[in-house]
Amino acid sequence: MARSKRRTTIAMPWERRSAMLRGIFAGSRLKPAALVLVAGLAAIWLSRTAAQREAERVTLAGIDETQRAVAAFRVDVGRCPRSTTELVHPPRTRRRYLDALPMDGFDRPLRVRCPGHLDPLEADVLSAGPSGDFFIDDNLP
């Protein structure tokens, strides 16, 4: 009389969970739906990332333009501008340093701090970043 060998396996808790997930996605209907869901989420994430990078690029270009305008203002007038409005409508000169109020890529106004935080001879031009709040650490220089 031959004995048949029984195989006993012991499954750890994490092995049971992965087997359960494999069982759920083993159905032929759920695989395409899961793939579409993952592809959709990836497309949304990529588009938001691209939009944020574009907004940051526009912001940095606006900061550079505003810094040049502040430097020209300081040469002509002899002081820092009190606000960004003085760059558009200067007090004594007929020269306009900017055509419009400087905005960042997130449609918020840029802020000019003069004298600068690190260099008192320069002016700092700041954007509040994606959050719109200067107290959150996502500001752009």
What's the confidence (pLDDT) of residue 5? 65
Mean pLDDT value across residues 116-123 = 78
Answer yes or no: is 106 within a domain. yes
Q: Using the 8-state DSSP alphabet, how is residue 109 labeled?
A: B
CA distance linking residue 123 with residue 70, whole number of Å: 7
Answer yes or no: is 135 within a domain. no
Q: How confident is the model at residue 41 (pLDDT cuts 50, 70, 90)?
A: confident
68, containing H or E segment: helix 30-77
CA distance linking residue 63 with residue 123, whole number of Å: 11
Mean pLDDT value across residues 25-48 = 77
Name the domain count of the chain: 1
State the residue range of the domain holding 105.
Answer: 27-126
Mean pLDDT value across residues 44-58 = 85
CA distance linking residue 120 with residue 85, whole number of Å: 21
Sign of torsion over alpha carbons 45, 48, 50, 53: negative
What's the confidence (pLDDT) of residue 30? 67
Answer yes or no: is 9 within a domain. no
Answer yes or no: is 141 within a domain. no
Read off the tokens for 93. Answer: 């000169």
CA distance linking residue 88 with residue 82, whole number of Å: 12
Answer yes or no: is 136 within a domain. no
Q: What percent of the chain has pLDDT over 90?
A: 1
Res. 105: pLDDT tops 60 = yes
Read off the tokens for 67. Answer: 């810094």
Q: Which residue has the tokens 């502040």?
A: 70
| CATH number of 79's domain | 3.30.700.10
Answer yes or no: is 38 within a domain. yes
Answer yes or no: is 5 within a domain. no
Answer yes or no: is 10 within a domain. no
